[in-house]
């Protein structure tokens, strides 16, 4: 059985202005520096086998990004090609080992990633687990919008949630199409006004939203657009991704099996929140 | 000094590629400003993606941040959307490290790697909040310095730049800083700009244009001479004698967003004596100075480990000429520390099968395309430009490339060369078609892409006297080629816009009067002129007309031997007599050999600076004919059988 590791990481601050592809390259470089034995694809142009989840739009922050890393070494493979076992465990001699060092990976990888990208948790993935792209069904977001006071925003949110459908004209790939975004809005609440921003003149509110990613994703910008043309989205942070199966909603790291196989890095989460 | 970040941040949601403006690269410093350190803003006048990899800027960035008496931050040209957002919000050009306004710096220093960025230089000075003309700047404004290859004809920018640094920057940047630090200690920052500039002019390799007067009569330049007796009549370039003393950059910047040349770059030698007559870089960077192989290896090893890159480029003007290149690359790829997925790339491949063999061995990943630059379509033409590639070398190289797995071959050619006849232009198509045929032996649908560009005779080269082809003549030659290439499956022809070539000629060889043209184009909105979607010939023609100048006189006219050239007071060490006789040799199809391995022909580069070549191997590399002393009488012979197979 080959090993796949699932990482949860944050993307906060200035680095949020980089794209999904940029983050992929940051990870490739960090993993090479870490010495982790990442598996490579075969063929004319081999690439490291990394699978990223649902892309985070450029400019958004997140404390809930996920990445699956497929490792080249099989679990339990002896360190030495001749199979000889030495007194000290082979795990201790290697830069990384499946059994011993997974817990230490967040602390080892974060310094190799740009400031603002912090590894929060890691777990080993069982066999036959769906890829993140297939499995994730919805994402939770914390949003901040400028434009109207909290009471007015709450009324608009109520109207949207009460509506049977909410049509939005969207442009994608140069084509305009009307779409009903209502089914994609799983939850939407006004958390309150934000009044601690110095020099702020326009009303600023914080919202929580849970938006479906399947069958087709709803973008936070589209949601805000539907709530009113007088609103400006000034901050968006993905706070959670969800996998819902048979009515049960869980975190993608819950797919990593036994709880003790997941290792959270509390200091990093503290920083991220 | 307060950071502008909180004002810049809200703009970034509305602009393309916002990652250009946030900094945060691995290797970036966050220098602490204090009165004891001269602060430099190093500016590359093009987009972040083009400018970030520039090695010259990165070397100076490290050197200035290592010194106790200086510090450096960086800026790149904001794209037009960001520039509009900044101007709309009343914000200036800013640094990436601390997001400080450009005017907060003591020095703003531009890297000049291409001539078409000149309008951007003016735009950035303006965006920094200063008068674009040096003479109109206020006391207390930053000193504006420029360096790089284009500084070898500084005259088109003479009205806008306070001081130019000519040649290698490693040593002179420290001397400039010491001079500035001395003034800064006594001054209310640059309260006496004239005195600061006078002191800078005393440094070898520094040209202060305001201390020189350009004399004209009847529309011709008579000379550029010092206004004061103690200012040198000629400014000679600076040259670092031994690259081993300068193992920089030690901490190459790794950007957060994708840039050009997104890989580790290690310079293996500087200078080139192949003697290609059109090549300004080869002429102005002489002599050849190799980095010791051991140091190259150490820089590669530590660089890969630090950056996490999986590709390293060994850079130079002709990397296959590095002594012991095979040993060096073999050592890199067999180093277990890097794993099996490190690719080594050799830009500027020499055209021969031997070199391709080395390339095949080392680029085991991402083997997509190989590029060769025969430059001339016929052997006669290649003798004129002294790029001595025999046809059998080209076919051998192309055969080796296709047989070893490459499917795409790109060929670079110049048109508009001296003595060029239509048969030379058509010769490009003939070569390309043969290359396609070779490709068909190995692949069902091989691709050969031919890129042609009009030659721009550059200052400080043997072609500096030569009249550049007109836009119409280049178009006619491109049409000839298009007809000759038509209907050949797998052959693609690309060409550089002849209009942009004409303007490049204008700003390359222009004298001080061209400065006003550049300013008019900038004022009319002509920024990012090297970007084809932004280039506008009309702006340039209108500006030329308004200044009473024309392309014919500056660009297309051949000069006489004795005509004063705009850059005659700037010396790259090359004797004017050598350049002229090499030009005459060119017209007579006479060739010169590479003086690394053959006797000196006294171009002046070594003797002027009391320098010599630093080359580990006393003999030319095996294989290939480019100036390696082989029999060159049969270069146009089409081999019956391609060698090396």
Kindly report the CATH number assigned to the domain that includes residue A18: 3.30.70.580
CB-CB: which of B22, B308, B366 is closest to A33? B308
Residue B455 confidence (pLDDT): 98
Domain match, A113 and A10 both: yes
Provide, as residue numbers in chain A, all residues whose Cβ is less than 8 Å from the Cβ of B21: 17
Average pLDDT over residues B363-367: 58
Residue A131 included in any domain: no
Provide, as residue numbers in chain B, all residues whose Cβ is less than 8 Å from the Cβ of A28: 308, 310
The tokens for B143 are 């000193």
pLDDT digits (tens, 9 = 90+) for A107-136: 999 999 999 999 999 999 887 788 898 899
Q: pLDDT of chain A along its 273 residues, tens only?
A: 578 999 999 999 999 999 999 999 999 999 999 989 999 888 767 789 999 998 999 999 999 999 999 998 754 444 444 434 444 444 444 555 555 578 899 999 999 999 999 999 999 988 778 889 889 999 999 999 999 999 999 999 999 999 999 988 877 777 788 888 999 999 999 999 988 777 778 899 999 999 999 887 899 999 999 999 999 999 999 999 999 988 888 999 987 654 444 555 544 444 433
Residue A97 confidence (pLDDT): 55
Q: Is A33's CB within 8 Å of B305's CB?
A: yes
Domain match, A241 and A262 both: no
| B354 pLDDT higher than 80 | no
Residue A178 included in any domain: yes
Domain match, A120 and A233 both: no
Is the preceding omega at residue B80 within 30 degrees of 0, hence cis? no
Decide if B7 touches A, using CB distance below 8 A. no
Domain match, A114 and A200 both: no
Residue A100 confidence (pLDDT): 55
Q: In degrees, to the nearest 5, what angle opens at C-alpha B327 toward C-alphas B323 and B328?
A: 75
Domain match, A195 and A113 both: no
Residue A112 included in any domain: yes
Query: 3-state secondary structure string, B16-44?
Result: CCHHHHCCCCECCCCCCCCCCCEEEEEEE
Kindly report the CATH number assigned to the domain that includes residue A218: 3.30.70
Closest CA of chain B from A118, distance in Å: 14
Average pLDDT over residues B205-230: 97
* CA gap B606, B129 in Å, rounded: 43
CB B415 within 8 A of CB B454: yes
Sheet strands (E) in B153-291: 163-165, 206-207, 212-217, 220-226, 235-236, 264-267, 269-270, 289-290
Q: For testing the chain B interface, which of A18, A29, A143, A219 should be mutated: the one with the most B CBs within 10 Å?
A: A18
Q: Is A15's CB within 8 Å of B368's CB?
A: no
Average pLDDT over residues B278-288: 96
Closest CA of chain B from A271, distance in Å: 18
Q: How far is CA A45 from CA B180, B312, B363, B364, in A?
A: 51, 16, 11, 9
Could you give the strand order of the β-sheet that contains B311-315, starting from the edge strand earlier in sequence? B264-267, B311-315, B343-345
Provide, as residue numbers in chain B, all residues whose Cβ is less than 8 Å from the Cβ of A38: none
- Its domain, for residue A213, covers 138-249
* CA gap B344, B331 in Å, rounded: 11
Provide, as residue numbers in chain B, all residues whose Cβ is less than 8 Å from the Cβ of A204: none
Domain match, A151 and A107 both: no
Give bridge partners of residue A38 from the DSSP assignment: A71
Average pLDDT over residues B581-602: 92
Residue B446 confidence (pLDDT): 94
Provide, as residue numbers in chain A, all residues whose Cβ is less than 8 Å from the Cβ of B12: 17, 59
CB-CB: which of A14, A33, A46 is closest to B24? A14
What's the ipTM?
Answer: 0.91
CB B233 within 8 A of CB B277: no
Q: Is B308's CB within 8 Å of A32's CB?
A: yes
Q: Is B12's CB within 8 Å of A59's CB?
A: yes
| B352 pLDDT higher than 90 | no
Decide if B94 touches A, using CB distance below 8 A. no
Q: How far is CA B80 from the centre of its chain?
A: 24
Domain match, A268 and A204 both: no
Domain match, A8 and A118 both: yes
Provide, as residue numbers in chain B, all residues whose Cβ is less than 8 Å from the Cβ of A31: 308
| B627 pLDDT higher than 50 | no
Q: How far is CA B226 from the centre of its chain?
A: 28
Residue A162 confidence (pLDDT): 95
Q: How far is CA B125 from CA B28, B54, B88, B111, B504, in A?
A: 23, 20, 17, 13, 21
Decide if B218 touches A, using CB distance below 8 A. no
Q: In degrees, to the nearest 5, what angle opens at C-alpha A147 toward C-alphas A143 and A150?
A: 70
**Banded pLDDT at B618 (limits 50, 70, 90):** confident
CB-CB: which of B256, B305, B307 is closest to A22? B256
**Banded pLDDT at B112 (limits 50, 70, 90):** very high
Residue A31 included in any domain: yes
Q: Is B22's CB within 8 Å of A15's CB?
A: yes
Domain match, A79 and A194 both: no
* CA gap B367, B439 in Å, rounded: 15
Count the domains in chain A: 2
Q: How far is CA B561 from CA A165, B79, B457, B558, in A?
A: 81, 43, 15, 10
Residue B363 confidence (pLDDT): 61
Decide if B81 touches A, using CB distance below 8 A. no
**Banded pLDDT at B9 (limits 50, 70, 90):** very high
* CA gap B611, B480 in Å, rounded: 46
Average pLDDT over residues B79-83: 98
Q: Is B19's CB within 8 Å of A59's CB?
A: no
* CA gap B266, B245 in Å, rounded: 14
Residue A76 included in any domain: yes
| Nearest chain B alpha carbon to A111 | B26
Decide if B552 touches A, using CB distance below 8 A. no
| B45 pLDDT higher than 80 | yes
pLDDT digits (tens, 9 = 90+) for B386-398: 998 889 889 988 9
Average pLDDT over residues B490-507: 97
Residue A204 included in any domain: yes
Residue A133 included in any domain: no
Q: Is A45's CB within 8 Å of B365's CB?
A: yes
| B517 pLDDT higher than 60 | yes
| B347 pLDDT higher than 80 | no
Q: Is B18's CB within 8 Å of A17's CB?
A: yes
Q: Is A115's CB within 8 Å of B24's CB?
A: yes
Domain match, A89 and A53 both: yes
Average pLDDT, chain B: 92
Domain match, A213 and A180 both: yes
**Banded pLDDT at B554 (limits 50, 70, 90):** very high
Q: Which domains does chain B have, with CATH numbers?
A: 5-236 (3.40.50.280), 263-513+549-608 (3.80.30.20)
Provide, as residue numbers in chain B, all residues whose Cβ is less than 8 Å from the Cβ of A112: 308
Domain match, A145 and A230 both: yes
Residue A197 included in any domain: yes
**Banded pLDDT at B155 (limits 50, 70, 90):** very high
Residue A86 confidence (pLDDT): 43
Residue A179 confidence (pLDDT): 85
Provide, as residue numbers in chain B, all residues whose Cβ is less than 8 Å from the Cβ of A233: 13
Query: Which candidate, B438, B529, B523, B554, places its Cα nearest to that of B125?
Result: B523
* CA gap B643, B635 in Å, rounded: 14
| Nearest chain A alpha carbon to B25 | A114
């Amino acid at each position: 059985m080959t090993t796949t590791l699932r990482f949860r990481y944050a993307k906060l601050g200035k680095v949020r202005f980089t794209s999904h592809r940029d983050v992929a390259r940051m990870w490739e470089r960090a993993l090479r520096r870490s010495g982790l034995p990442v598996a490579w694809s075969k063929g004319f142009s081999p690439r490291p086998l990394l699978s990223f989840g649902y892309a985070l739009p450029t400019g958004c922050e997140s404390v809930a990004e996920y990445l699956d890393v497929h490792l080249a070494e099989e679990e339990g493979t002896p360190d030495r090609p001749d199979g000889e076992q030495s007194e000290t465990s082979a795990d201790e001699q290697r830069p990384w080992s499946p059994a011993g060092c997974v817990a230490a990976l967040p602390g080892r990888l974060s310094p190799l990633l740009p400031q603002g990208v912090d590894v929060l948790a890691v777990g080993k993935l069982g066999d036959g687990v769906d890829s993140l792209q297939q499995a994730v069904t919805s994402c939770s977001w914390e949003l901040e919008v400028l434009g109207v006071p909290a009471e007015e925003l709450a009324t608009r949110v109520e109207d949207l949630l009460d509506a049977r459908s909410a049509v939005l004209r969207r442009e994608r790939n140069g084509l305009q199409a009307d779409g009903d975004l209502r089914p994609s809005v799983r939850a939407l609440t006004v958390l309150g006004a934000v009044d601690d921003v110095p020099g702020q003149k326009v009303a600023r509110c914080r919202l929580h939203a849970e938006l479906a990613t399947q069958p087709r994703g709803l973008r936070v910008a589209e949601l805000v657009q539907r709530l009113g043309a007088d609103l400006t989205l000034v901050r968006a942070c993905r706070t959670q991704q969800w996998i819902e199966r048979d009515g049960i909603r869980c975190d993608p790291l819950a797919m990593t099996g036994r709880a003790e196989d997941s290792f959270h890095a509390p200091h990093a989460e503290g920083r991220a929140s | 000094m307060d950071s502008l970040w909180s004002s810049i941040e809200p703009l970034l949601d509305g602009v393309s590629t916002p990652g250009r403006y946030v900094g945060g690269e691995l290797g970036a410093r966050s220098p602490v400003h204090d009165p004891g350190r001269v602060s430099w803003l190093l500016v590359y006048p093009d987009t972040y993606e083009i400018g970030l990899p520039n090695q010259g800027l990165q070397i100076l960035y490290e050197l200035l941040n290592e010194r106790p008496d200086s510090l450096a931050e960086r800026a790149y040209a904001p794209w037009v959307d960001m520039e509009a957002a900044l101007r709309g919000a009343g914000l200036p050009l800013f640094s990436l490290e601390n997001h400080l306004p450009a005017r907060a710096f003591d020095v703003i220093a531009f890297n000049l790697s291409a001539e078409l960025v000149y309008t951007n230089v003016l735009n950035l000075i303006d965006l920094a909040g200063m008068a674009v003309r040096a003479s109109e700047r206020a006391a207390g404004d930053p000193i504006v310095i420029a360096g790089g290859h284009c500084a070898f004809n500084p005259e088109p920018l003479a009205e806008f730049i306070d001081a130019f640094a000519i040649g290698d920057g490693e040593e002179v940047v420290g001397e400039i800083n010491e001079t500035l630090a001395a003034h800064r200690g006594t001054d209310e920052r640059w309260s006496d700009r004239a005195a600061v500039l006078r002191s800078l002019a005393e440094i070898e390799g520094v040209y202060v244009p305001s201390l020189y007067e350009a004399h004209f009569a009847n529309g011709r330049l008579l000379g550029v001479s010092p206004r004061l007796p103690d200012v040198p009549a000629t400014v000679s370039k600076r040259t670092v004698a031994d690259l081993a003393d300068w193992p920089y950059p030690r901490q190459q910047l790794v950007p957060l967003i994708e840039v050009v040349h997104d890989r580790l770059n290690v310079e293996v030698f500087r200078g080139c004596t192949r003697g290609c007559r059109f090549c300004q870089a080869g002429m102005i960077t002489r002599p050849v100075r190799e980095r010791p192989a051991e140091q190259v290896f150490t820089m590669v090893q530590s660089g890969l480990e630090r950056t996490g890159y999986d590709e390293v480029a060994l850079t130079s003007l002709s990397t296959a000429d590095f002594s012991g290149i095979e040993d060096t690359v073999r050592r890199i790829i067999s180093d277990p520390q890097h794993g099996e997925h490190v690719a080594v790339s050799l830009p500027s491949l020499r055209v021969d099968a031997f070199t391709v063999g080395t390339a095949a061995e080392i680029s085991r990943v991402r083997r997509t395309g190989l590029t060769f630059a025969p430059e001339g379509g016929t052997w006669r033409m290649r003798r004129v430009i002294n790029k001595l590639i025999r046809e059998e070398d080209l076919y051998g190289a192309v055969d080796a490339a296709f047989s070893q797995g490459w499917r795409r071959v790109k060929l670079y050619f110049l048109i508009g060369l001296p003595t060029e006849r239509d048969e030379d232009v058509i010769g490009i198509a003939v070569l390309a078609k043969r290359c396609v045929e070779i490709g068909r032996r190995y692949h069902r649908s091989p691709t050969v892409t031919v890129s042609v560009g009009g030659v721009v005779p550059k200052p400080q080269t043997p072609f500096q006297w030569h009249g550049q082809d007109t836009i119409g003549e280049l178009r006619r030659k491109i049409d000839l080629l298009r007809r000759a290439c038509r209907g050949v499956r797998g052959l693609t022809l690309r060409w550089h816009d002849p209009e942009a070539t004409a303007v490049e000629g204008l700003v390359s060889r222009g004298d001080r009067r061209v400065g006003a043209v550049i300013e008019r184009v900038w004022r009319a909105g002509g920024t990012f002129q090297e970007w084809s979607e932004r280039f506008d010939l009309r702006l340039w023609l209108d500006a030329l007309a308004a200044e009473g100048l024309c392309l014919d006189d500056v660009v297309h006219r051949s000069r006489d031997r004795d005509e004063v050239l705009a850059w005659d007071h700037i010396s790259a060490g090359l004797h004017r007599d050598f350049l002229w006789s090499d030009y005459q040799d060119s017209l007579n199809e006479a060739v010169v050999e590479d003086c690394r391995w053959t006797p000196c022909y006294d171009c002046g580069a070594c003797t002027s600076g009391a320098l010599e070549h630093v080359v580990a191997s006393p003999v030319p590399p095996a294989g290939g004919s480019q100036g390696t002393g082989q029999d060159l009488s049969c270069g146009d012979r089409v081999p019956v059988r391609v060698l090396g197979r």
